[in-house]
Chain A
Amino acid sequence: MTLIKTSYNRRSFLKSGALAGGGMILGFSWLASCKPTPEQVNNMPKEWFNINGFLKIGDNGMVTIMSPNPEIGQNVKTSMPMIIADELGVDWKDVIVEQAPLNTDIFQRQLAGGSQSIRAGWSGLRMAGATARHMLVAAAADTWQVDASEITVDNGVISHTATNNSAGFGDMASKAATMSVPEEVQLKETSDFNIIGTDKRNVDGPNLVTGKPLFGIDIQEEGMMIAMIVHPPAFGLTYKSMDAETVKSMPGIKDVFPIDVYPDDVEKQWSDGGAINKLVAIVGETTWQCMQAKKALKVEWEESSVLESTEGHDEALTKLLNTSAKAPARKDGDVAGAFKNAAQIIERTYSAPFLAHNTMEPMNFFADVNGERALLNGPIQTPEFLEKTLASRLNLPVEKIDIKMTRMGGGFGRRLYGTFGVEAAVISQKMQAPIKLVYTREDDMTQGTYRPTYKVKYKAGLDNEGNLIAWHVKGAGSNDDLLFENRFPAGAVDNYLAEKFSLETNVTTGAWRAPRSNFVAGAEQAFIDEVAEAAGKDPIDFRLELFDRAIKDPVGEPEKNDYDPERYAGVLKLVKEKSDWNSSQNNGKSRGVSAYYCHNSYVAQVLDLNNDTDSPKVDKVWCAVDCGIVINPMAAKNQIEGGIIDGIGHATYSEMTFENGQPQHKNFDTYRLIRHKEAPKEIETFFVDNGIDPTGLGEPSLPPIVGALANALYKATGQRHYNQPFITEKSVIG
C-alpha cells in the first residue's frame, strides 16, 4: 500500500464536518495536487481557501461528490469523481455527481482545469477518497471495539469478519464526521482499482439527450434583455461614429450605444487576450429583434493600425525564415560541418493558416450589474481572471462580484479569453438591468483569438548509410515562435540546430487545442517520412533508430530533452503491431504513420486511406496512447476519436484568411469544417498499460494525425503535402 501524508498542506486541503440531517461531509482541494507551487502556498491565506470540492455521505449511504467546475466536453465531471469513489470504496451506482454550489461563503475559487485536470487532480482526489474511507473505518473500529487494520471496505460495506460485524457507509457516516482527519492515509494499490479503468457513462447524458438547459446561452432570468455587439469589421479599424436613432425605434429595441469596454486605466489580465476596446452595443427584448437592428445599423470605422492580409503574413513569415535568429533556441554539435559532409540533404517548408475555434455554442454571457454588485453567469474557463478585470473595470471590490459557470458548448481554448464577460458586464451596467450577451456566428468567427498562422523550414542531412547526421529547424508564427526545441528529434541527432521567430501582427491569436503542436507535429512527422524515404528505410524503423539513439546515448544533457524516448518508442511499436504494419502494406490501402509527444502523453498513429476512387477517404485509424493510467476508457476513447477527427478536419479543410484586415470567412457556408461523410470509418484506440500516474488526454491525439494523413496521402497520390489546408493542394478527401 502507498502511504501518503495528508498533512502536507492540510491546513488548506482537508476539513470534515457533520451534516445537519445526519452523515458526514469532507471538504478538499479538487484541482490542486499535493505539491502546490510556491505561489499557491503564498496565496493560501485562510484555512478554507483552497477547499473547493466536497464529498457528502448521507445517512442512507448515498455518496454525493460535488464537482466545482463545469464541463467543456472533456468529461472530467464523470472521470474525476470516479477517482474519489474508487479510493472511498463505494459502489459507483450509489454515487451522485452534482455541480457544486457556486460563490457561497465556502467556495473561494473555481478553477477550470484545462488539459491537465486529471494529472493535477490525481493525488488530491485519491487522498480525499482515502481519507473519508479511513474516517469511516475509524468510526466502525470504535463502535465495534476492534482494530481498524482488520476492517475491510468493499462496495460501500464496512466489515469486520472475525466478529461478524458489518455496516453500510450511511450507518457510520455521522460518527465518522467526529473522527479526527488522519495525518496520513493509505492509498489503494493500482491493481486494486475497481472503478478507475472501467467504462462509466457521462453523468450528464440523460440531461443532454432531453435538451435540458445546461449551457450559458440557455440562461433565462426574470427581466432579462438580450444584448448583441457590433465589432470592427477588420483588425486595424476602430469605432468612429454611428447613426443609432433610426435603429432605436425598431420593434423591441431598448437602446443602442457605443461602449468603452477597456478604457486605458483598466488593469487587463492575460485572459483579456483579443480584447477590442470600443464596440457598439444593441439591447432589445428578443434575439431576433437585436439581429434585425444589427443588420440595419450603420457604423463608421476608422483606421487605427495596419490592415493586414494573408499574403502579407505569408511573405513576412518567409522572410523571417530566410534570416538567422540572434541566438539559437538550441544547438548541439557542428551543424554546418555535418551538412558539408552529408551524402544527401533534404530541405522542405511547411505552412498552416489561422484557424478560428468555432465552438458550436457561440460566445455569450449573462450579467446583472448595478452600482453595488455584479452577478455574472456563463461559459468561461478563467472566472478568477474575469473577476480581477471586472473589479478594475467596474470599480467594485471582488467580494461584490459573483461569477457562476455553466456547462460549455465546446472550448478548444476559446473560452480562456473572457472578453465577452467584460462586454456583458459593461452593457448591463449601462442598462442597470440584467442582460444576456449573445454573439452571432459571424461575431464569433470574425472576432477571434485565432490559432496563429505558422511556417516551418526543416533541413536534414544523411550520411552514406542513411543515418541522420544533421537537423536544422527554423520555425515562425504570428505572435508565437512555434518550436519546442527540446523535443524529438533533439537528443537523437548529433548535430542539431533550432531557431525560432515571432511575427508581430494585429490579428489576435491565442491557445487553440494543442497549441503549437497542432501544426508542428504534422510538419515534423511528414518531413521525417520524406527523410526516411530518402534514407531508404521503413518510416517506423527509421524513427525507432532515432529513439534508440536517444535512449542509449542521448545528445546534449539528458534532462534537457523534454521526452522519454522509451515511452515514445513504446507507442510506435504498439501501433506497428496492432495495425499489422509489415504484412498489410499492399492491401489496396494507402498507409501513413506518425508519432508525437505533448501534454505529457505519447501517441502513435497509423492511418489507412481507401484509395479506390479519385478522392481518397480515411478508412481506418489505429491509435496507440501512453497517458499512464486511464480513468474511464469509454470517455478516454471519445477524446482520442474527437482529436483525430478534429485534426484531420482542420488540416484538410479549414482556414481563416484576411484581406485588408477583414476575416474572409464569416460562417460555415465558406468556413469548412469536417462533416459526417469525411470522418474516418473506424478508429481503434489502444492504451499502454503501465500503471504510471495519468497525464493529458484531451489534446495529444490531434497533432500527430496530421502527419499520418499527409504521409498516407503521399502513398495514395504520389504528392507530398506541405501547406494546410491540404484541400488547396489538390488531394481531396471525402
Chain B
Amino acid sequence: MANFSLKVNGKTQEIDVDPSTPMLWVLRDHLKLVGTKFGCGIAQCGACTVHLGDNAVRSCQLPVSAVGEQSITTIEGLSENGDHPVQKAWLEEDVYQCGYCQAGQIMNASAFLKRNPNPTDTEIEDAMNGNICRCGTYTRIKKAIKNAASISNA
C-alpha cells in the first residue's frame, strides 16, 4: 500500500492503495465516482475512458502510481452543470439506448474535439473506433460529435 495525492475533477484526494491499482478501480471503489464504467479490463472497449490532463486514456490500464501530478477528469467533472457541448449534443441527438458505454464515448469525444475542433467523418470514425457500443448507436454518436463541433465553434 502507498499514499497518493490525486487531482480528480479539480479536487485533491488522498488515498492509501496498492500502487498497481488501476485508476478505474480507484475512481469506482475508493472515490465512489462510478460514472466511469468497467467494460473489459484490457483497454479494448473504451467504457472506462477518462481525461489525464487533456488526453483521453483507458483508466483500466492506468495504474494509480503513473498518474503523478497530472489532473484526472471523469464524466462527473466534465462540466459543472452537465452543459459541455458534447453533453448538450448527446441530449439533442438522444444518442443512448442502454447508456452504459456513453460516459466513455463522451469522454473520448470531448478530448478528441479539443484536439480537432472541425473533424471529418473519417477522423471521427478513427478517433472513436476504440469505444464499443453494443446497442449500436454509432450513427447517432457521429451526428452528436458533428453537432458538438458546431456548438463549440458557434
Bound Cα distance from A669 to B43, whole angstroms: 9
A642 with B135: in contact, given A201-B94, A213-B34, A251-B18 (CB under 8 Å)?
yes
Bound Cα distance from A361 to B45, whole angstroms: 11
Bound Cα distance from A536 to B132, whole angstroms: 42
Interface centre among B98, B100, B137, by most chain A C-beta atoms within 10 angstroms, is: B98
Kindly list chain B residues whose C-beta atoms are within 8 Å of the C-beta of A287. 25, 28-29, 38
Bound Cα distance from A641 to B37, whole angstroms: 24
Q: Is the CB of B38 within 8 A of A210?
A: no
Q: Is the CB of B134 within 8 A of A359?
A: yes
Asked whether any CB of chain B lies closer than 8 Å to the CB of A673, the reply is yes
The contact size tier of chain A is: 35 or more
Q: Is the CB of A634 within 8 A of B44?
A: no
Kindly list chain A residues whose C-beta atoms are within 8 Å of the C-beta of B32. 220
Given A362-B39, A441-B42, output 17 extra A-B contacts at Cβ < 8 Å.
A208-B99, A210-B76, A210-B87, A211-B33, A217-B34, A220-B32, A288-B18, A288-B25, A358-B134, A359-B98, A360-B45, A360-B101, A361-B37, A638-B97, A642-B135, A668-B42, A675-B132
A-side binding surface: helix, strand, loop or mixed?
A: loop
Q: Residue-by-residue, is A360-384 near B (CB-CB < 8 Å gives 1, otherwise 0)?
A: 1110000000000000000000000
Bound Cα distance from A641 to B22, whole angstroms: 35
Q: Across the two chains, which residue of chain B brings its CB closest to A291?
A: B41
> Could you tell me which B residues sit within 8 Å of A by CB distance?
1, 18, 20-22, 25, 28-30, 32-42, 44-45, 47, 74-76, 78, 82, 87, 90-91, 94, 96-103, 106, 121, 124-126, 128-142
Bound Cα distance from A495 to B99, whole angstroms: 48
Q: Across the two chains, which residue of chain B brings its CB closest to A251?
A: B18
Q: Is the CB of A361 within 8 A of B100?
A: yes
Q: What are 30 of the A-B contact pairs (CB < 8 Å)? A: A75-B97, A205-B94, A206-B91, A208-B96, A210-B75, A210-B76, A288-B21, A359-B98, A360-B39, A361-B37, A361-B39, A361-B100, A407-B98, A410-B100, A411-B98, A441-B39, A634-B94, A635-B94, A638-B97, A641-B136, A641-B139, A644-B136, A645-B138, A667-B40, A667-B41, A667-B42, A668-B45, A676-B129, A679-B136, A681-B121
Instruction: Name the distance in Å between B121's Cβ and chain A's nearest Cβ.
Output: 8
Kindly list chain B residues whose C-beta atoms are within 8 Å of the C-beta of A326. none
For A360, give its contact among B25, B29, B47, B74 (CB under 8 Å): B47
Bound Cα distance from A681 to B140, whole angstroms: 10
Kindly list chain B residues whose C-beta atoms are within 8 Å of the C-beta of A407. 98-99
Kindly list chain A residues whose C-beta atoms are within 8 Å of the C-beta of B28. 287
For A440, give its contact among B25, B41, B99, B124 (CB under 8 Å): B41
Bound Cα distance from A204 to B87, whole angstroms: 13
Q: Is the CB of A676 within 8 A of B99?
A: no
Q: Is the CB of B1 within 8 A of A669?
A: no
For B98, give its contact among A409, A635, A675, A679 (CB under 8 Å): A409
Instruction: Name the distance in Å between B138's Cβ and chain A's nearest Cβ.
Output: 4
From 268 to 291 in chain A, residues with beta carbon under 8 angstroms from any chain B beta carbon are 286-289, 291
A-B contact count (CB 8 A): 184
Bound Cα distance from A412 to B98, whole angstroms: 11
Instruction: Name the distance in Å between B80's Cβ and chain A's nearest Cβ.
Output: 10
For A677, give its contact among B18, B129, B133, B135 (CB under 8 Å): B129
Stretch in A66-74, A464-472, A594-602 touching the partner: A66-74
A209 with B91: in contact, given A286-B30, A410-B100 (CB under 8 Å)?
yes
Q: Across the two chains, which residue of chain B brings its CB closest to A442?
A: B41
> Could you tell me which A residues sit within 8 Å of B by CB distance?
71-75, 199, 201-202, 204-206, 208-215, 217-218, 220, 226, 251, 286-289, 291, 358-362, 407-412, 438, 440-441, 634-635, 638-639, 641-646, 649, 667-669, 673-677, 679-683
Q: Across the two chains, which residue of chain A brings its CB closest to B47?
A: A360
Q: Is the CB of B139 within 8 A of A680?
A: yes
Q: Across the two chains, which residue of chain A brings its CB closest to B133?
A: A360
Kindly list chain A residues whose C-beta atoms are within 8 Å of the C-beta of B38. 217, 287, 362, 438
Bound Cα distance from A201 to B144, whole angstroms: 14
A676 with B142: in contact, given A407-B99, A441-B40 (CB under 8 Å)?
yes
Kindly list chain A residues whose C-beta atoms are within 8 Å of the C-beta of B133. 360
Bound Cα distance from A642 to B101, whole angstroms: 14
For A288, give its contact among B29, B91, B126 (CB under 8 Å): B29
A210 with B82: in contact, given A73-B97, A668-B132 (CB under 8 Å)?
yes
Kindly list chain B residues whose C-beta atoms are within 8 Å of the C-beta of A72. 98
Kindly list chain B residues whose C-beta atoms are within 8 Å of the C-beta of A201. 91, 94
Q: Is the CB of B91 within 8 A of A676?
A: no
Kindly list chain A residues whose C-beta atoms are within 8 Å of the C-beta of B126. 677
Kindly list chain B residues whose C-beta atoms are within 8 Å of the C-beta of A199. 94
Q: Which 8 A-B pairs have the closest CB atoms?
A: A211-B35, A409-B100, A645-B136, A73-B98, A211-B75, A679-B138, A73-B97, A668-B44
Q: Is the CB of B131 within 8 A of A642?
A: no
Kindly list chain B residues whose C-beta atoms are within 8 Å of the C-beta of A75. 97
For B134, give its contact among A211, A288, A410, A641 (CB under 8 Å): A410
Bound Cα distance from A259 to B113, whole angstroms: 49
Instruction: Name the distance in Å between B54's Cβ and chain A's nearest Cβ.
Output: 19
Q: Across the two chains, which residue of chain A brings its CB closest to B34?
A: A218
Instruction: Name the distance in Å between B76's Cβ and chain A's nearest Cβ.
Output: 5
Q: Across the two chains, which residue of chain B brings its CB closest to A641?
A: B139
Q: Is the CB of A212 within 8 A of B35?
A: yes
Kindly list chain B residues whose C-beta atoms are within 8 Å of the C-beta of A408. 98
